[in-house]
Amino acid sequence: MKDASPQPIYLSDYTPPEYLVDQVELTFRLAPSATRVISKIRFRPNPEAVSKRFFLHGEGLATISSTIDGAPVTPREVEGGIEVDAPDAPFTWEAEVEIDPKANTALEGLYMSNGMYCTQCEAEGFRKITWYPDRPDVMAPFTVRIEGDEPVMLSNGNPTASGDGWREWTDPWPKPAYLFALVAGDLVAREDSFTTMSGKHVDLRLWVRPGDEGKTAFGMEALKKSMKWDEEVYGREYDLDIFQIVAVSDFNMGAMENKGLNIFNTSAVLCSPETSTDANFERIEAIIAHEYFHNWTGNRITCRDWFQLSLKEGLTVFRDQQFSADMRSPSVCRISDVLSLRGRQFREDNGPLAHQVQPDSFVEINNFYTATIYEKGAEVIRMLKTLVGDDGYRKALDLYFERHDGQACTIDDWLKVFEDATGRDLSQFRRWYKQAGTPRLKVTETWDDGTYQLTFTQTTPPTPGQAVKEPQVIPIAVGLLGPNGDEVRETQVLEMTEGTQTFTFEGLSARPVPSILRGFSAPVIVERETTPDERAFLLAHDTDEFNRWEAGRSLAKEVLTGMITGGDAPQAAYLDALATMLRDDSADPAFRALALQMPGEDDIAQTLFDAGMTPDPDAIHEACETLKQARAEYLQDLLPRLSADMTVSEPFEPNAEQAGKRALGLQLLKLATRLDGGKAAQAQYEAADNMTHSLGALACLLDAGKADAALAEFRERWKNDALVMDKWFMLQVSHAAPAEAAATVERLTKDPAFTMKNPNRFRSVFGAFAGNPAGFHQKDGSGYALLADWLIRLDPINPQITARMSGAFETWKRYDADRQDLIAGELDRILATPGLSRDTAEMVGRIRG
Ligand code: PHE
Ligand code: ZN
């Protein structure tokens, strides 16, 4: 039964576990609809406990037997689990339960995917496997015996014994239950090995379904690079004899860092030039690194409770961002990271779902795997590093690993390590974890006879449950440029701690042009009155690549908002600056591709809303179309030469250099398509020998309305490749004209290849729909009703994905009264659904407000 009015749990209610676990022994007797799980667990009273209650979590378990020290016991069923009378001394709990993996469509606990058994236990899935204190501060070594006739049967740790029809795995490192994993089925491995810095041999295995072997090479290389990088940059060595990755088709998230046995969504690990785009390769490299890095930041040092989630996620995202920057172009990586931060986290922070990096309460923890916990959490660590410097950061991290290895920690433990290692007081910095919302940084300036002053004022708008905000520490990286474009003051980090603060630069010979928030040194929104000429000047001259890009971006947004509101639209300045930037052959093609990318329609909507206007999705779409056409016409003379320069003659490699050329080539193809109606795109589609080219060309053909033949050909060619078919679904929805988007979604959901049981497939259609704002927000409300219908249908099958996708509605308060009424109606309809999951009820309830 689902809880009708789910109660929040509070950080302030934390109490230590009553019992600790010294050892876990599990036996699995696998059967698709009736798997038996036999547990033998050594408990001991926790001296730090405040009560003596012996409570075990459990959900949907059919108990066959349970004993304490061999004597049968009768547990009392209580909310969320059972209570048993237990000795105030060490004892052994044994239980046998039966579960039904085949019926598990929520993909949490033990479930079947594509005929194979697999598990997902973070955050609270282990309680669907057996009775256990399913909380991260209970850590124990596990031994797991798997019995069954599957050819491959895996669990965490090292393989320690095996026989006919059984395998045994032992994980010596104490871990919380959320890091438990089991996989069994018909799998094949790419095998490799790694020698650690102290000379230990580690076997590496990347397990896939037969047929997918050809998509494992890149993932394995990425793993080895990650292992090396973590040794070199953080001094972290791997700690088991074997490290395994398994690719699974049905998975709610990207991937999971289970100790020694990472489980990956196929989309986050499998790739080949024929089936994957450059963006796929880049994402896969980052996710493999991310999960591997969790071995130290997450597993060896874990979280005390789920309010500390960002302790592992913010830090691990920051580490994977550092890794990607080292593997590829740092400024290009930074720009991409900020694009996604703004698109997802700022959006969240400015709506009804805004929450702290360390929340005070939650109803369903699955709803808190958010851009705020992950990406803002990483930004906070980046600022910390800027403030204490590289050496201070390294010292603090060394102390963190030394002091807390083997522990379940809090964000306060983390900050204390920085205070102790660097002597810096971080009490004000802590507000970054405790205040939700994106600070606005208003900038004014004065110039007087050689003295230049910058005055900053910070304000953070109220967020749900947090009306008043205190000033935060903001590291503002600033450089100054002279009138001829030379840098007259190198980057300097201004530390702002007050609500309003002035910084003075003396001895300048002419009024400078400031380059503010270089490298995006803090996750804030800068508000500064400036001129199109100044932006064009920065786009041409700034030595900070991020701010060069930012200048072009702001200019584009100014043009668009001007076109929409009937204000000034500095189109000529923008087009001219764009042409100058494109002609600059010394600039990295990847950078130029990013600078040529249009601002997203959702970004424009938020910008208009911030400026006190009501965004009209159709008008935004129209303005973007008009500007795209104007750009194509203005830049047409440049296209042939530049496109030719972007030709890659070497065989396909998914490296940054080639990817940059292809990215710029595709931006140019989009422009060309507006002029030639799709001729060049058709030619590229036909000639393509890699997915980046075919998909890019197909997108252009869709925009030109000439894609019918190519879509049919593509479908036929790739009908047996689920990951490529996801792209086929996604592209049609994201490139549908506004008035046709809902109909496209309806048509695609009737395609025999559509299924709502596979999260990737559902997302490829409905995620793309939410990402097509003009289509989703059609005035008649058809988009809202369509999404709501499908969310209601999906909820009993997969609550996590339903809750996540309901985020499509999170921006609803931006829009006009009619649209708001329509959305409110759909949100209420979802909320009124009998038996609605706790996940969806919480999310939709918070969005509705
Ligand atoms: N902990 C995983 C990661 O960040 C994400 C995840 C969360 C996966 C919950 C599954 C379930 O890498
Ligand atoms: Zn993570």
Instruction: Name the residue of 257, 303, 362 whose CB sits within 8 Å of the most ligand 1 atoms, as the mutation to test its pocket.
Output: 257
Instruction: Name the residue of 284, 369, 374, 804 whose CB sits within 8 Å of the most ligand 1 atoms, as the mutation to test its pocket.
Output: 369
pLDDT, tens only, 475-491:
999 999 999 999 999 99
- Options 122, 291, 545, 810, the catalytic residue: 291
How many CA atoms within 13 Å lie on the side-chain side of 43?
28
SS3 sequence, 61-79? CEEEEEEECCEECCCEEEC
- Helix runs in 405-486, H state only: 411-422, 431-434
Q: How many angstroms separate the CA atoms of 228 and 233, rounded?
A: 9
The amino acid at 247: A
| CA 369 – ligand 1 centroid, Å | 8
The amino acid at 307: F
- Residues 117 and 101 sit within 8 Å (Cβ to Cβ): yes
Is 6 a residue whose pLDDT tops 80?
no
Q: What is the pLDDT of residue 569?
A: 93
Ligand nearest the Cα of residue 317 is 2
Residue 1 — pLDDT band, cuts 50, 70, 90?
very low
Pair of tokens at residue 128: 């669907």
Burial of 175 (0-12, 13-18, 19+ CB in 10 A): buried
How many CA atoms within 13 Å lie on the side-chain side of 521?
24
| CA 96 – ligand 1 centroid, Å | 28
Q: How many angstroms separate the CA atoms of 239 and 38, rounded?
A: 28
CA dihedral angle for residue 350, residue 352, residue 354, residue 355, rounded to 10 degrees:
160
Pair of tokens at residue 716: 């036929």
| CA 313 – ligand 2 centroid, Å | 5
Is 299 a residue whose pLDDT tops 80?
yes
Indicate yes or no: pTM above 0.90: yes
**∠ Cα 802 807 811 (to 5°):** 155
Instruction: Indicate the DSSP class of residue 344.
Output: I
Atom of ligand 1 nearest to the CA of 316: 4
Instruction: Indicate the DSSP class of residue 651.
Output: P
The answer for 289, left when phi > 0, alpha when psi is -120 to 50, beta otherwise, is: alpha
| CA 316 – ligand 2 centroid, Å | 6
Q: How many angstroms separate the CA atoms of 256 and 246, rounded?
A: 10
Is 4 a residue whose pLDDT tops 60?
no
pLDDT, tens only, 520-576:
999 999 999 999 999 999 999 999 999 999 999 999 999 999 999 999 999 999 999
pLDDT, tens only, 36-94:
999 999 999 999 999 999 999 999 999 999 999 999 999 999 999 999 999 999 999 99
CA dihedral angle for residue 730, residue 736, residue 740, residue 746, rounded to 10 degrees:
-10
| CA 347 – ligand 1 centroid, Å | 21
Pairing verdict, β 9-10 and 19-29: unpaired
Is 2 a residue whose pLDDT tops 50?
no
- Residues 111 and 251 sit within 8 Å (Cβ to Cβ): no
Q: Which residues line ligand 1 (CB under 6 A)?
A: 120, 122, 253, 255-257, 290-291, 313, 369
Atom of ligand 1 nearest to the CA of 251: 10
Q: What is the ipTM of this complex?
A: 0.99
Q: What is the pLDDT of residue 327?
A: 98
Report the pLDDT averaged over residues 19-28.
99
Report the pLDDT averaged over residues 364-383.
98
Nearest CA to ligand 1 atom 3: 256
* Residue 27 dihedral angles phi and psi, to the nearest 5°: -125, 130
The amino acid at 482: G
Q: How many CB atoms lie within 10 A of CB 391?
A: 10
Atom of ligand 1 nearest to the CA of 291: 12
Ligand nearest the Cα of residue 288 is 1
Pair of tokens at residue 806: 């309901």
| CA 343 – ligand 2 centroid, Å | 19
DSSP-derived 3-state class of residue 833: coil
Nearest CA to ligand 1 atom 11: 122
- Residues 154 and 263 sit within 8 Å (Cβ to Cβ): no
Q: How many angstroms separate the CA atoms of 9 and 29, rounded?
A: 35
Is 658 a residue whose pLDDT tops 90?
yes
Report the pLDDT averaged over residues 748-764.
98
- Residues 19 and 46 sit within 8 Å (Cβ to Cβ): yes
Instruction: Name the residue of 134, 179, 256 whose CB sits within 8 Å of the most ligand 1 atoms, as the mutation to test its pocket.
Output: 256
Nearest CA to ligand 1 atom 7: 122
Q: How many helices (H) and strands (E) does the chain have?
A: 28, 31
Is 3 a residue whose pLDDT tops 60?
no
291 annotated active-site: yes
